[in-house]
A and B are shown apart, each in its own frame.
Chain A
C-alpha cells in the first residue's frame, strides 16, 4: 500500500529525464516509454522508500542507518561504485545486500537469527535500501578494485563459475550471456553483461514482474530458472536449486560482472523487461 502511495507521488513529482540504452528502450511498452519521456521512472518509488527506511528503521540500540552514514546518506556517496569489496569488519567480500545486512546486525543491534528481522529484511527493507544506497552513486564510474587477496580469489572464482557448465541442461552463465549473446530465447534477447558493462543499471526495476531486483535476485533467479541440477528428472523436485542469498557464489559472480563494468557510469535504477 505504502509503496503504491510513494509510487504515485513519485510519478506526480517527476524527476530527471532518463536516458536509456537504445536496445532497452525498444523492449519497453509504450506507456513506460511515455512515462520515461516525462521523466518518471517506477523505480524511483523504491529509492524514496529506501530513503525513508534509511532514516526511520531503528535497531535495538536506537541507531538508524543515518546515525553512522549521515543525513541523506552523505557519507555513502560513491560507496556502491566500489562494491562488492572486502570489508574488514565483516571479514569477507560483500555485495550491497550483504553489506546492509551486516550493518544492521553488527551496528544497529538486530539479531541475525531473529525471525521477524529476517522476514522484514528480506521482504521489506533489503531491496529499497539497496536501491537507495546504490542511487547515491549515480553519475559515478564503477571502480571495483581487486586489491585484497580475498577479492582476487573471489574474482577468479566468479570467472570460473561464469563458465562452469552444470545441471541437467548443461548450461553455464556464459552459454547464454557470452556465447549466445545477441541471439534470442524465444523473443527475449540475450544481453552480454560482461562485454556491455550492463551492471551500471542494477538494481533494476523489471516491469515484467513489477518488482525491483538487486543483482543478487537476478543471479539467483537465473540459477532457479535455467539450471536443473539432479539427473533424475522430477518437475517439482528437481527444477529449482538456487544458491543461498549472500553466499559467496552469488557475490563472486557479481564481482566478476561488476569488475568487467569498471569505468562505466552508474545509472540506478535501471528499467528492464
Chain B
C-alpha cells in the first residue's frame, strides 16, 4: 500500500514537472492545496499572459517597434509541433466537425472557424473577420503552411487576431491535421 502511494507520488511529481509550461508552474502547487476563489483564478489567468501576448497588448494590437518581426516569427515557429502521421490527417469527417459541424449550423466549440471565416457555402452564418476559405484547396497552398497557420498563426502573422489554437492546446496536433485534410480535400464542400 505504502509502496503504491510512493510510486504514485513520484509519478505525479514527474508528470507535473514534465508537463507544466513555464507560465503555469506558479499555479500548480496552489491548485492542489485548496479550491481557488474566483479572484485567485482570475489573477492566475492574467498572470498567465505570455511574453508574446504582452508584446501584442498595445492599442494597435500589433508588434510594437523595437521588437524584431523575424525573430518573433522564428520563435513562434519553433513552438509548432507536428503530428507523427504528417500534417495532412486521415479523418476528414472529424476535421469537418472541428472546423464547424454542418449539422449544428457550422458550430464547434473547438476550431469554431465559421466565427471568423466563411467556408462551406451551406453555412450562411459565417463571420467576415478572416478571409473566406471557399475554394481554399485550389489555391496551391502547401498543407504544411496551413498547418502552421492553424497551430500558431503568430508564426506567420505576429499578433494576428487569429487564436494560436495549437500553441494553447485548444486543438491537438492530430486534430489540426484532420482540419488541414478537410480544407485541402478536393471533395470537401469548401472546394466544390
Contacts and interface: CB of A to CB of B under 8 A. Distances in A.
Interface of A: 160, 163-172, 174-175, 178-180, 183-187, 227-233, 235, 241-244, 247, 249
A169 B170 contact: yes
Interface residues of B, number: 38
Given A185-B116, A185-B129, A169 B168 contact: yes
B57 interface: yes
B57 A229 contact: no
Given A165-B53, A180-B161, A185-B127, A229 B169 contact: no
Contacts of A185: 115-116, 127, 129
B168 A168 contact: yes
Interface string B1-43: 0000000000000000001010110000000000001110110
B12 to A, nearest CB: 15
A228 B163 CA distance: 11
Contacts of B56: 165, 170
A165 B168 contact: no
A250 B168 CA distance: 25
A247 to B, nearest CB: 7
B169 A243 contact: no
A227 B154 CA distance: 18
Contacts of A247: 39, 42
B128 interface: yes
Interface in B48-73: 48-49, 53-54, 56-59, 61
A172 B56 CA distance: 10
Contact of A170 (B24, B59, B125, B163): B163
